[in-house]
Structure 1
Amino acid sequence: MCGITGLFDTRGVRNFERATLQRMNDAQFHRGPDAGDLHLEPGVGLGHRRLSIIDLATGQQPLFNEDGSVVVVFNGEIYNYQELVPELQALGHVFRTHSDTEVIVHAWESWGAECVQRFRGMFAFALWDRNQQSFFIARDRLGVKPLFYALLDDGTLVFGSELKTLLAHGGLRRELDPLAVEEYFALGYVAEPRCIFRQARKLEAGHTLLLRRGQPLPAPKPYWDLRFTLQRRVGLEEACAELDARLKESVRLRMIADVPLGAFLSGGVDSSAVVAHMAGLSQSPVNTCSMAFADPAYNEAEFARMVAERYHTNHHVDMVDSEDFGLVDTLARLYDEPYADSSAIPTYRVCQLARTHVKVALSGDGGDETFGGYRRYRMHLMEERMRRALPQGLRGPMFGLLARMYPKADWAPRVLRAKTTFEGMSRSAVQAYFHSLAQLRQPQRDQIFSDALKRELGGYSAEAVFERHARKAGTDDPLALIQYIDLKTWLIDDINTKVDRASMAHGLEVREPLMDHELVEWCASLPSALKISGQEGKHFFKKALEPRLPHDVLYRPKMGFSVPLARWLRGPLRQRVRDSLLGGAMAATGWFNARAIGQLIAQHESGAGDHSRALWTLLMFDAFLRNVAGVGAASEVRGLDLAPA
């Protein structure tokens, strides 16, 4: 796990200044505090910060092939590298290290851009081939590792693991993209490939970009997509047995390390499943790390303890203060783009705890998306059954009227006693799913956006993100469709972003057995009825784990990793909300309606409404403006300060 950055002259062979590349590399020092180095030649500059995990003695980067004509910088892990080494040796390649990085340069020499098809892991890398005059960047299938890039006005392509490395170059225009602002306020993040700065982009998950000097910048090329075939005909018992074997293999691959290794243990099904398999594969007790919350409404520590005791782990617990809201500015500097998931706070803390005991931690991320665990999936399926029973011409006007008339609908079934449900019933399946997930729904965004921002948007809605992915999903199965959308949006842009930045802030590598692409592909081949049965999500996943985990861990209500936002915003953060959202950087943009925001604040403070999600989203946008965009502050990019604000 590392940080990569660099420069490529798309027009010629200018000599880049070493000081510029050094500054870019230093901006991501936290991603690789163990070592760092640069490579410069005419028209090319590559930088790397190393977090040493495998081959501690000889795995330094940038790393070259035998004759020095191919050089790579790499962030992540190729879990099947040991299988690829003998195959590449048989093709004539000579290995000088025992690192997975060297597999990449030789795989490129043998298979070219198709080399990514052979890699099983999480990765982002950049490679320069002097003989072919080719510059190649790639990102893993499920977007575990990030990669930002931008084509500057002078023809320089700049790239990096984090946006701050591009900003450190000095040539990136800090012009905000209004469409990205709309996506942020709708989704809580900026959806790839868009970036908050108009000139920059994210390389999408499962994509590569191949550049040749003197040629225009091409469009990124997809090399992988997930197909929900749902055609594998297996019974519950057979599916459970195969899942157990596949999960064991995925965990085993991610336990390869030359440094102390452990796991996050939240007390939920996913992390508990990972720990159970780790314990079965380990000769010594597994190191586990959990967060306890002072507020019992958010505390899962007891369930984590049950699993830790069952498998005799070396269990470490840290308490998150109920008033741990001092990370607002730290998170803004860490994430670079506005990011509204408040669970970033406990995630930051659990990574901080884990790093005091281990250098690599396995997580349970990806389980809900892969196995159908979210409560919203079950609600969507109930709504979808009703949507399909009524034609849109009847359903739209009828439920649209009910939504406007709510809350007086006592005659309706319990599932329909909600304004959100009525609104969802009046829409298409994709529109309804977007509406149910929206951080601020369209009416709220219309209220807080100024006329100036609305003109900039030109009618654009973030709903287009979901519609774009839905067109590519290749399925009309109600569950598979929204799983596909989540795997392309929420998982990559929220979950993976959160974990990558929080872990890298502390020099911790996090690995994700439930996001193994072969496991995900296999699960996508199974019927949806195995994933959700009645009101039970993750049906066959939980059944497979019954011999390994306590019943109370498997079948208790899902709690989530959240914080008491509503209380914070009415209490200790009350004055900051007023100061930040009604003036300063927010006002300086000219993009927000202060009167509408003031009404949200007043209603929340009085208890007339719970606008905590909206206010937190606004507060984090203000923190981004001040700490990253330079609005209302000095515009230069300063070194990342990871100390709590």
Structure 2
Amino acid sequence: MCGISGIFDTRGTGTIPRDLISRINNVQSHRGPDENEVHLEPGLALGHRRLSVIDLATGTQPLFNEDGTVGIVFNGEIYNYLELMQELNDLGYRFRTRSDTEVIVHAWQAWGEACVHRLRGMFAFALWDRKHQTLFLARDRMGVKPMHYAWLPDGSFIFGSELKVLTAHPGFVRDIDPLAVEGYFSFGYVPDPRCIYQNAHKLPAAHTLTLRRGDAGRPAPRPYWDVRFTNDNPIKLQDAQAELRERVRESVRLRMIADVPLGAFLSGGVDSSAVVATMAGLSSTPVHTCSIGFDDPRFDESSFAQQVADHYRTDHRLDIVSSDDFDLIDTLAWLYDEPFADSSAIPTYRVCQMARKHVTVALSGDGGDESMGGYRRYRMHLGEEAVRGRLPLALRRGMFGPLGRWYPKADWAPRSLRAKTTFQALAMDSVQAYCHSMSQLRGDERRALFSPAFQRSLGGYGALEVFRLHAEQAQTEDPLALIQYLDYKTWLVGDINTKVDRASMAHSLEVREPLMDHLLVEWLATLPSDFKIRAGQGKVIFKQAYEPLLPRDVLYRPKMGFSVPLAAWLRGPLKDRVRLALLGERMRDCGYFNPVTLRRLVDEHNSGLRDHATALWMLLMFEAFLRLNEGAAPHG
């Protein structure tokens, strides 16, 4: 696992200073502490920070072919690299290393841009072909590994694993994108392909970008893969369970290849437990497992993790995190480079910190909920869809719209009485309703939060457009498949993968996700949706498939999640910090927010009248971003 960076002069072959590429490359030194290399030639600079995992002796980057005409900087792992190496050997290509990096170089020589179709893994890379004066960027299908890029005013193109690589360049203009701010306060992250800055972009998952020196204009990223939900596989459920176990076994086996210590996260949930059980069946020695527990029993799952660890006799490590572990706010703001409000980034950071003391590579269970229908919101959405399917939209708007407006927001009430969001969703179409349920702050809440001037700067844009654009590409009428597809394109990439990548790379830890293997994802998309959700139960096929391997109370207990006691923090030890940050000059002077709303949110939460923990945490993380990026300015 590594950090990559580069500068490409698209119009000429001027000299790029060595100290410039070294400086922007070194801001991500945490991603690769083992080696620091740069390559310079007229009009091009490539930088690489290496965390050595495979081919420790000869895998140095930037890596070039034999005659030095094709080179690469690469972040990730190609799990089928040994097969590709043999295929390329048969085609006459010769290898000087045993690294997956050199496989990509020769794959480009053999197949050109189509090489990405051959790669099975997580990756973000930039490849330079000197003969054709071409720079080729690619990102893996599920968006596990990040890639940021920007065009500078002088026509130069820069890229890097993290946004801080771009902002470290003196030519980068840090104008904040108001549409990204709208996206953040809807979803809690800035959805791809936007960045918080107007001039920066994320290369979308499963996309490539090809630049040729001398070409006019700025080329757009191009997709090379997408998941298609057919839901038409005729396989029987019992046979599908057996095949699922075999496919997961193969995916885990490929991800256990490493030349450094390897282990797994074990949360006590279904997904990580299944991964550990599979690893144990593939390993002749005890699997290293790592868990985080909480001193607050409402958030602690460590006893379930211990059950699995005991069952498979893993070499298990447990750290207990204090319920007052909130001192990472500024650390997280620096790591994520742009506002990021998933508070589970705190325990994720801690489990990565602990794991790195014992292993260099850790397998996780991320991606299972999205592929196999594990979220409670999926079941709720399907219930709402049943109502939406019986009543026309116009009637639903007239019936449920007023109820959604008038029904109180009963945060204090039992869940069964919190009907406001459901009424609002029933007055919407399917895509709008799912966007509504995924929004941390709903449309009316954002309108109250934003100042009139900031709302005008949005020009009528709303975060719903993100979901609308993806829904147009989904090519499915199945209600569950549609929202799974939307999660693949938004939540999984923008929140889950971003969270894990930055938290793990902060500690130079490589995390691999076997449940995000694209061949597994493609196969799961062929299964009928009632294999995933049936009779109000999520992940039916997965849980039944692993009944022989895992304790029943691990499989069928209520999902807890990786949560922290936000509401208590914000009323207690963080109370003064929240008031100072949100009601201070920085938030007032930036011009984004209505100061009356900010004060109301703080006062109502502190008094206990309402629970505004979500909004306050988002605002607190946004203020931390502004404070660490004082040079950033509103666009326009």
Fold equivalence (TM over 0.5)? yes
**Structure 1 CA distance for aligned equivalents of residues 339 and 408 of structure 2:** 34
**Structure 2 CA distance for aligned equivalents of residues 349 and 606 of structure 1:** 31
Deviations 1:241-276 (A, max 9, x none): 100000000000000000000000000000000000
After superposition, the Cα gap between the structure-2 partners of 1:194 and 1:252, relative to the gap in structure 1 and judged at 3 Å, is same
Q: Secondary structure at the match of 2:190?
A: coil
Partner of 1:320: 321
2:151/2:157 contact within 8 Å kept: yes
Partner of 2:6: 6
Instruction: Say if 2:562 is the partner of 1:561.
Output: yes
> Which AA in structure 2 matches 1:457?
L
Partner of 2:99: 99
**Structure 1 CA distance for aligned equivalents of residues 371 and 630 of structure 2:** 35
> Which AA in structure 1 matches 2:540?
H
> Which AA in structure 1 matches 2:337?
D
**Structure 1 CA distance for aligned equivalents of residues 632 and 541 of structure 2:** 50
User: What TM-score results when the alignment is normalised by the length of structure 1?
Assistant: 0.96
Q: CA deviation at 1:584?
A: 2.9
**Structure 2 CA distance for aligned equivalents of residues 515 and 581 of structure 1:** 38
**Structure 2 CA distance for aligned equivalents of residues 176 and 168 of structure 1:** 16
> Which AA in structure 2 matches 1:285?
P
> Which AA in structure 1 matches 2:190?
V
2:409/2:420 contact within 8 Å kept: no
2:401/2:423 contact within 8 Å kept: yes
1:178/1:456 contact within 8 Å kept: yes
Partner of 1:375: 376
> Which AA in structure 1 matches 2:373?
G
Q: Secondary structure at the match of 1:169?
A: coil
Instruction: Say if 2:252 is the partner of 1:256.
Output: no
After superposition, the Cα gap between the structure-2 partners of 1:161 and 1:551, relative to the gap in structure 1 and judged at 3 Å, is same
Instruction: Say if 2:479 is the partner of 1:478.
Output: yes
Q: CA deviation at 1:345?
A: 0.2
Partner of 2:352: 351
2:176/2:632 contact within 8 Å kept: no
After superposition, the Cα gap between the structure-2 partners of 1:72 and 1:631, relative to the gap in structure 1 and judged at 3 Å, is closer
Q: CA deviation at 1:619?
A: 0.3
Partner of 1:227: 228
Partner of 1:49: 49
Partner of 1:637: none
Gaps of at least 5 residues in structure 1 are: 633-645
Deviations 1:581-622 (A, max 9, x none): 112321221111111110011111111110000000000000
2:175/2:632 contact within 8 Å kept: no
Partner of 2:15: 15
Instruction: Say if 2:520 is the partner of 1:526.
Output: no
> Which AA in structure 1 matches 2:267?
S
Q: Secondary structure at the match of 2:150?
A: strand
User: What TM-score results when the alignment is normalised by the length of structure 2?
Assistant: 0.98
**Structure 2 CA distance for aligned equivalents of residues 504 and 552 of structure 1:** 33
1:332/1:628 contact within 8 Å kept: no
**Structure 1 CA distance for aligned equivalents of residues 252 and 225 of structure 2:** 22
Q: Secondary structure at the match of 1:307?
A: helix
Instruction: Say if 2:429 is the partner of 1:428.
Output: yes
Deviations 1:559-595 (A, max 9, x none): 0001000000000101111111112321221111111
2:21/2:46 contact within 8 Å kept: yes
Partner of 2:600: 599
**Structure 2 CA distance for aligned equivalents of residues 82 and 408 of structure 1:** 56
Deviations 1:178-237 (A, max 9, x none): 000000000000010011000010000000001100112211110001100111011110
Partner of 2:391: 390
Instruction: Say if 2:99 is the partner of 1:110.
Output: no
Q: CA deviation at 1:630?
A: 3.7
Partner of 2:549: 548
- Greater than 2 Å deviation, 4+ residue runs: 414-417, 628-632
Deviations 1:533-570 (A, max 9, x none): 11110001000000000000000000000100000000
Partner of 2:446: 445
After superposition, residues 281-296 of structure 1 pair within 5 angstroms as 281-296=282-297
**Structure 1 CA distance for aligned equivalents of residues 138 and 131 of structure 2:** 19
> Which AA in structure 2 matches 1:429?
S
> Which AA in structure 2 matches 1:212?
R
Q: CA deviation at 1:415?
A: 6.2
Instruction: Say if 2:516 is the partner of 1:515.
Output: yes
Gaps of at least 5 residues in structure 2 are: none
**Structure 2 CA distance for aligned equivalents of residues 403 and 451 of structure 1:** 24
2:75/2:124 contact within 8 Å kept: yes
**Structure 2 CA distance for aligned equivalents of residues 286 and 60 of structure 1:** 29
2:174/2:632 contact within 8 Å kept: no
**Structure 2 CA distance for aligned equivalents of residues 408 and 361 of structure 1:** 41
Partner of 1:36: 36
